[in-house]
Amino acid sequence: MQLKDIEHILIDMDGVLLDTKYDNYFWQEYIPLVYAKKNKISLEQAIQITHSLFHYKKNTKDWYDLDYWTNILDIDITKEKKKKEIMDKIKLKKDVVSTLEKLKNKKLYLVTNAHKKTLDIKLSKFTLNEYFDEIICSHEFKYVKEDIQFWYILRQYLNINYQKSILVEDTMENINSAYHAGLKSIYISNTNCKYPGHIYKIKDFSELSSCL
């Protein structure tokens, strides 16, 4: 893959810039606990109910929609996410800011599946806005990144050439849908598997500047 001519870099947020431990803890452990207390059931029952609901909606627009889950679970999800003990778990990955500084000669776009409310919460802790020419929540386009339609809409919206662009992602489903829309990717992963030629793999976001 030729990376020297890249002009536009589309960067995912969770798993690339931010550690996913916050989200994993919030949805897999914390919300089931809140649900159990609210409904006066055992934690085991709450885990079974909530995890089943989450699994059913995975990779859909609803999965990322805080208002949807507030309605379904009858829990103020935004309020719970803003609690200090939860906010404290939001962490930047290694050397994110210094790497973004090194990429200032490129057009940078933050492209996330996160709901706008989730994005606002996370960016209230880390002011990454200044590094990006634009921040896009897929939710606002009515499609998630797993859907090829999103990438066609995004290309038109940003008015960019995908041949001179690269996606930085940690989710293979998103990489595959982007590829079918003409966008190649840099995959952030610690695995040692072989990948197709349209995927360039690095272990950490901090390696990105040296690739380009």
Domains of the chain: 8-19+92-211 (3.40.50.1000), 21-87 (no CATH)
Coil, strand or helix: which one is 157?
A: helix
pLDDT band at 192 (very low <50, low <70, confident <90, very high): confident
What secondary structure letter does DSSP report for 93? P
Q: Which of 48-62, 100-114, 131-145, 186-200 has the lowest mean pLDDT?
A: 186-200
The reply to whether the predicted model has a pTM over 0.85 is yes
Query: Per the structure block, which two tokens stand in for 123?
Result: 């960016």
* Separation of alpha carbons 164 and 5, rounded Å: 6
- pLDDT tens digit string along 39-66? 999 999 999 999 999 999 988 889 999 9
Side-chain-side CA neighbours of residue 113 (13 Å):
23
* Separation of alpha carbons 44 and 42, rounded Å: 5
Q: What's the confidence (pLDDT) of residue 1?
A: 55
